Amino acid sequence: MIKKSTKIKQFLAKLVLLTIGILLVAVALELFLIPNKIIDGGVVGVSIMTSYLTNLPLGIFIFTFNLPFLAFGYKKLGKNFIITSFYCITMLSIAVNFFHGMAKATTDLLLACIFGGIILGIGLGIILRNNGSLDGTEIIAVSLNKKVSFSIGEIIMVINLFILGSAGFVFGWDRAMYSLLAYFIIFKTIDVVIEGLDESKSITIISDKYEEIARDIISKFERGVTYINGQGAYSGEDKKIIFCVISRLELANLKNHVLEIDPSAFIAIENVHEVEGGQVKKQKMFS
């Protein structure tokens, strides 16, 4: 009974977040981008151009153009993803028609581009974080990824560059360039929403003073540390490799601590997209 209640709460929370994301996307499109003839990429971008050329409601094209992609991706991406995406696409189709005709937020093209891009990026980021999608091109990209050597992101970028470039023939080349700028802002904003502002870094440290360094990380930074057994390929000596994850803001401080203990320590740093747990207790920023 408790598990069922928890699942219902999680489902409702997800539904609320998806709806908020959809409303943000609709506001960005109808109050910032579309009135200034700036488009988004993907199916939405094609829908905007088609709506402009035919003078028919945008929501009709967003819904109908996405249906074939949803049907195509049903077996490849799973029922839950397709159902969630269907909800998002249907609600966006309704929302853009609801906001259509309202006074545009600004007539300044650069402001429309920046703030429309940020709001749209936040909305899309929320939707993606909750396993939804508004764009059938992502489904095509996942399918093509198995047949070509390009990544999913590269395929989506190529498709979108073609679509955004096409805006030049419909709205003029200055609007096509503004659309490219908006797309870049949207892309970066999505990253921030999905990965968070406090980006984490994974640290790999090789040092003969591994025990002292590990104690220092645990006591001063309150982070969990893992030892990995390794062996030097040249020397053949056994090595203890330290692995931990730390926030971007703590990185410089940690490096200084490690190099104070062992100036010859090997330190490798990588970006981490998402982290759960790993702290000894609530983090302390600097010591």
Q: Measured between alpha carbons, how far is residue 183 from residues 25, 47, 152, 165 in Å?
A: 13, 16, 17, 12
The CA-CA-CA angle for residues 130, 276, 82, to 5°, reads 20
CA distance 139 to 146: 12
The per-residue pLDDT for range 210-221, each reduced to its tens digit, is: 999 999 899 888
Question: pTM to 2 decimals?
Answer: 0.72
DSSP secondary structure letter of residue 208: T
In the chain the domains, ranked by start, together with CATH numbers, are 2-195 (no CATH), 200-272 (3.30.70.120)
Give the per-residue pLDDT at 120: 93
Task: Report the DSSP beta bridge partners of residue 202.
Answer: 245, 270
CA distance 179 to 248: 32
Give which of 185, 177, 72 is closest to 133, Cα–Cα: 72
List, edge to edge, every strand of the sheet that includes 200-206: 226-231, 238-247, 200-206, 266-272
Residue 254 CB partners (closer than 8 Å, separation 6+): 203, 217, 221, 246
**Residue given tokens 């609007």 in the structure block:** 175
Asked if residues 94 and 87 have their Cβ atoms less than 8 Å apart, the reply is no
Q: Measured between alpha carbons, how far is residue 106 from residues 24, 25, 42, 111, 124 in Å?
A: 16, 16, 24, 7, 22
CA 44 to the chain's CA centroid? 18
Give the per-residue pLDDT at 162: 86
CA distance 61 to 47: 5
The dihedral of CA 114, 118, 124, 125: what is its sign? positive
**Residue given tokens 């498709």 in the structure block:** 159
Instruction: Tell me the pLDDT of the chain (287 aa) as tens digits.
Output: 556 777 788 888 889 999 999 999 999 999 999 999 998 888 999 999 999 999 999 999 999 999 888 887 777 667 788 888 899 999 999 999 999 888 888 889 999 999 999 999 999 889 888 878 888 777 777 666 666 666 656 677 788 888 888 888 888 889 989 999 998 898 888 877 876 655 678 899 999 899 999 998 998 888 889 999 988 877 778 888 999 988 776 788 888 889 999 999 999 998 776 666 555 444 433 33
Work out the number of other CB atoms within 10 angstroms of the CB of residue 153: 11
